[in-house]
């Protein structure tokens, strides 16, 4: 699967742009702020139905304009498909082969991408919510049922929390109603817990293999999923916690409090790992994600590598490029502010490499190496 062409209108700093890609390696070079990351984001949007960076979709509309449109032509199993994402004011339309989706979640996973960005290390440095979001996004791309269960859980959680608030404010309680929420939430939470657990079990050995390869076996990484649902008496404890929940007006226990622990040689990566080690850690996680999609879906996802060479030493860069050369990946997009630097790194790889120069939202195909 790969993207053949993209057409952007009023997306971030792009006015109107048409670009044809190589099915193998594409490199975007250009100065800071020219639009390299924005272009990766446009591809990401076509896969995940939303931006990887802007929390409000309207922020992606070019300043002074009132709509944007992203149109991608994909090749998948010898067929061409179009994916189109339009936003006009608050109205969002997402189409596959010109037919709008009723539910956006149905599109997730159909044209998978894996994005590696400098912001990824936030997943290490920030709180547990970032890590849950990180893994939720990955599991959702692999398993539509996970995504719908998660949506259901969050909805139930919100309803239970407002019920707790009502109880606290009115100093009364509707036992039947809370029992029904408890039951549904526990059931949904258990499904999420089981899916997270088996995903991490499958991911861990692949992740470790990638980390050890990237770091030339310098450090031993570990990835541990922690959930209160491991406790056999969890359901009982959840129900017994009702008084405290009412007091605090929120649900204190459940999969919305799960944690993922990352360590290197037994120490928390957060406080102990260097910037390069932290970056290697998330790259290994992303490569493992890539492998899992490849294995489960039998599709090589599009790999978007944003500023990947920054902070990695030569050994780690070479290890990564060895994988590219071995054709472990399908279509690849790489951004780098320094064109000579990237050309030197990828120059000897035997693949069709298209280099694009970006200047202030204007893209020119610079040259092709093959």
Ligand X SMILES: Nc1ncnc2c1ncn2[C@@H]1O[C@H](COP(=O)(O)OP(=O)(O)OP(=O)(O)O)[C@@H](O)[C@H]1O
3-state secondary structure of 224: strand
Query: Which residue has 């861990």 as its token pair?
Result: 204
Contact between 131 and ligand X per CB under 6 A = no
3-state secondary structure of 185: helix
Q: Which stretch binds Mg ion (CB under 5 A): 35-43, 150-158, 177-185, 358-366?
A: 35-43
Q: Which stretch binds Mg ion (CB under 5 A): 28-36, 86-94, 212-220, 231-239?
A: 28-36
Contact between 254 and ligand X per CB under 6 A = no
Contact between 342 and ligand X per CB under 6 A = no
What span, in angstroms and rounded, lies between the C-alpha atoms of 16 and 22? 20
Contact between 115 and ligand X per CB under 6 A = no
Contact between 69 and ligand X per CB under 6 A = no
The phi and psi torsions of 219 (rounded to 5 degrees) equal: -135, 155
Contact between 43 and ligand X per CB under 6 A = no
What span, in angstroms and rounded, lies between the C-alpha atoms of 138 and 199? 10
Give the nearer residue to Mg ion in terms of CB position, either 115 or 150: 115
Q: Which member of 63, 98, 232, 243 binds ligand X (CB under 6 A)?
A: 63
Q: Which stretch binds Mg ion (CB under 5 A): 31-39, 46-54, 283-291, 360-368?
A: 31-39
Burial class (CB in 10 A: 0-12, 13-18, 19+), 239: middle
3-state secondary structure of 282: helix
Contact between 38 and Mg ion per CB under 5 A = no
Contact between 204 and ligand X per CB under 6 A = no
- 30 touches which of ligand X, Mg ion, none (CB within 5 to 8 A by kind)? ligand X
Residue with the CB atom nearest Mg ion in the bound state? 37
Task: State the DSSP H helix or E strand holding residue 328, giving kind and residue range, or none if neither.
Answer: none
Q: Which member of 6, 26, 35, 94 binds ligand X (CB under 6 A)?
A: 35
Question: Helices (DSSP H) in the chain: which residue ranges?
Answer: 36-48, 122-125, 128-142, 144-170, 175-214, 234-240, 242-248, 269-272, 275-297, 314-325, 339-346
Binding site for ligand X (CB under 6 A): 12-13, 30, 32-38, 59-63, 307, 337
Query: What residues line the site for Mg ion (CB under 5 A)?
Result: 36-37
């Amino acid at each position: 699967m790969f993207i053949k062409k993209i057409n952007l209108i009023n997306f971030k700093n792009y006015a109107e742009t048409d670009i044809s890609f190589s099915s193998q390696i594409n490199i975007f070079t250009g100065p800071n702020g020219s639009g390299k990351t924005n272009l990766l984001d446009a591809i990401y949007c076509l896969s995940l139905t939303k931006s990887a960076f802007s929390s409000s979709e309207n922020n992606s509309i070019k300043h002074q304009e009132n709509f944007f449109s992203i149109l991608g032509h994909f090749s998948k199993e010898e067929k061409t498909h179009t994916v189109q994402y339009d936003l006009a004011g608050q109205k969002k339309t997402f189409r596959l082969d010109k037919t709008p989706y009723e539910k956006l979640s149905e599109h997730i996973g159909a044209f998978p991408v894996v994005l590696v960005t400098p912001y990824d290390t936030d997943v290490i440095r920030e709180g547990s919510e970032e890590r849950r979001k990180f893994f939720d996004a990955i599991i959702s791309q692999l398993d539509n049922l996970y995504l719908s269960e998660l949506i259901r859980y969050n909805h139930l959680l919100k309803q239970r929390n407002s019920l707790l608030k009502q109880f606290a404010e009115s100093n009364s309680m509707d036992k039947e109603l809370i029992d029904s929420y408890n039951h549904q939430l526990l059931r949904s939470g258990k499904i999420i817990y089981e899916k997270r657990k088996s995903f991490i079990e499958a991911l861990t050995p692949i992740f470790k293999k990638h980390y050890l390869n990237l770091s030339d076996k310098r450090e031993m990484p570990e990835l541990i999923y922690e959930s209160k649902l491991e406790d056999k008496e969890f359901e009982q404890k959840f129900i017994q916690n009702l008084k405290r929940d009412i007091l605090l007006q929120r649900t204190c226990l459940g999969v919305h409090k799960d944690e993922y622990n990352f360590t290197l040689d037994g120490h928390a990566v957060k406080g102990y790992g260097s910037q390069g080690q932290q970056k290697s850690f998330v790259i290994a996680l992303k490569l493992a994600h890539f492998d899992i999609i490849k294995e489960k879906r039998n599709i090589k996802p599009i790999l978007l590598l944003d500023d990947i060479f920054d902070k990695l030493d030569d050994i780690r860069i070479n290890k990564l490029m060895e994988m590219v050369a071995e054709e472990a990946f399908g279509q690849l997009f790489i951004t780098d502010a320094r064109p000579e630097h990237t050309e030197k790194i990828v120059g000897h790889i035997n693949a069709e490499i298209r280099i694009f120069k970006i200047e202030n939202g204007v893209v020119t195909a610079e040259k092709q190496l093959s």
